[in-house]
Amino acid sequence: MTSRRGSTPAAPVSAPAGFAAASAAPTAGPRPVSALLGSVPTAAGFAATPTSGYARAEVPEPVPEFPGCRPIRITRDAIADHESRIEYWDAATETAWVACEPNTVYHEGPSQVLSGLLTRIAAIRGAPILTLGAADLLLRNARGERQRILEADQVVFLDPVKTRPRGAAVEVGSDHLPDVVLEVDYATDVRRGKLGLYEAWGFPEVWVEVPEGGSPRRRPSLTIHRRSTEGYRSVPASVALPGWTAAEIHAAFNEAELSEATCAVLERVGRALGEARGTGPDDDLWLGAQRREARAAGRAAGRAEGVAAGRAEGCAEIVHAILRNRGLDVSERLAARVAGENPAVLAAAALACRDEADLLARLDQQRRVRRRTRTRDR
């Protein structure tokens, strides 16, 4: 959770009435929630109003489960100052669910990697993308009191200038919801609790990553859950980040270093986002400056090459004209042999030489003299 001012000890408690008991080792399959929640689809980037009975119920039915978590008691008064990470908190029972296992690189890695990947996509798109990490997702009751809190592993805002949260938490029903929520299932299983709450609260797109080298009980993969009129549906590619497939995202999360294939995917997604809003790499402050500098350097190099090529061509024409006027034969290779020579030296040698071979010998002699002079001057 975010912006908790001080630490208040939280005592372990037994699973209270109205909540399913959980263990560190999830064994049961996911509980279907789509047909039970009755939630209303919400367009990405807009504030959701969770109108379903499940979202507002004093005790939700079906009861959310939190495999891999343990319950601790945090009172209504203490929750504002509680600093530790939680999965879920409910005011009705004053119970929070926290992961049984400590944080690991398997769990923390994907959310950090996603932030870096989105930085690259934003640069290609030419507009910022905001990630807020494990931000509080807060639902208040009709009296404005904290009713429930979810904490994701990463939240993504694609238009932060307009949709950035105004306070310390993302408040469901007043703030714009994240375009994407990431959950990393290392020792947990969001399908049996949190996923149903995300759906009921109106979150448009949730990614669930099972990391490589993580849970031995589930196949490593990423699943994209997208809201529809019939609840969440598993889709092959993101709608929020158009065309970015679940397989590509999972591969990027688990690479030791950024691959060429992933770089190409990030550029493709960034350009698709940019086309939708009429922006591109030149609109990004940092990347745009780099591109302008590269173009300026390219133009300068092109001008220098053009001047050098023109000078070489002019020198060759001078030599050809002098030798032809003197009735001497000129080979096609001569132009390349005299490229870069001083025009005055070249003209003097062309006027004094007996033939083309003598011309080249005189030029070689001049080069040796210049080298000796430079060596002596040092």
Each residue of 181-211: pLDDT tens digit? 999 998 788 888 899 999 999 999 999 999 9
- Region 149-174: mean pLDDT is 94
Nearest-5° Cα angle at 71, 113 to 227: 50
pTM for this model (two decimals): 0.69
Are the C-beta atoms of residues 90 and 66 closer than 8 Å to each other?
A: no
Looking at domain 11-283, its CATH superfamily turns out to be tt1808, chain A (3.90.1570.10)
Task: Check whether 26 has a pLDDT greater than 60.
Answer: no
State the number of CA atoms in the 13 A half-sphere of 183 facing the CB: 27
Listed by start position, the domains of the chain span 11-283, 286-377
Task: Check whether 89 has a pLDDT greater than 60.
Answer: yes
- Region 69-97: mean pLDDT is 91
Give the Å distances, CA to CA, from 323 to 293, 344, 356: 45, 15, 8
Percent share of the chain, pLDDT over 90: 44
Element (H, E) at 276: helix 260-277
Residue of 110, 127, 274, 106 lying closest to 207 (CA atoms): 110
Least confident of 67-71, 100-104, 209-213: 100-104
Per-position DSSP letters for 102-161, written without gaps between them: PP-HHHHHHHHHHHHHHHHHHHHHTS--EE-SS-EEEEE-TTS-EEEEEE-SEEEES-HH
pLDDT computed for residue 93 by the predictor: 92
Task: Check whether 33 has a pLDDT greater than 60.
Answer: no
Cβ neighbours, 10 Å, residue 214: 21
Best-predicted range by mean pLDDT (22-26, 229-233, 240-244, 366-370): 240-244
pLDDT computed for residue 236 by the predictor: 98
pLDDT computed for residue 39 by the predictor: 37
Task: Check whether 373 has a pLDDT greater than 70.
Answer: yes
Q: Give the pLDDT band (50/70/90) at residue 9.
A: very low
For strand 205-210 and strand 180-184, is the pairing parallel, antiparallel, or unpaired?
parallel
Question: pLDDT for 314-367, tens place per residue?
Answer: 777 878 888 888 888 888 788 777 777 777 788 888 888 889 899 889 888 888
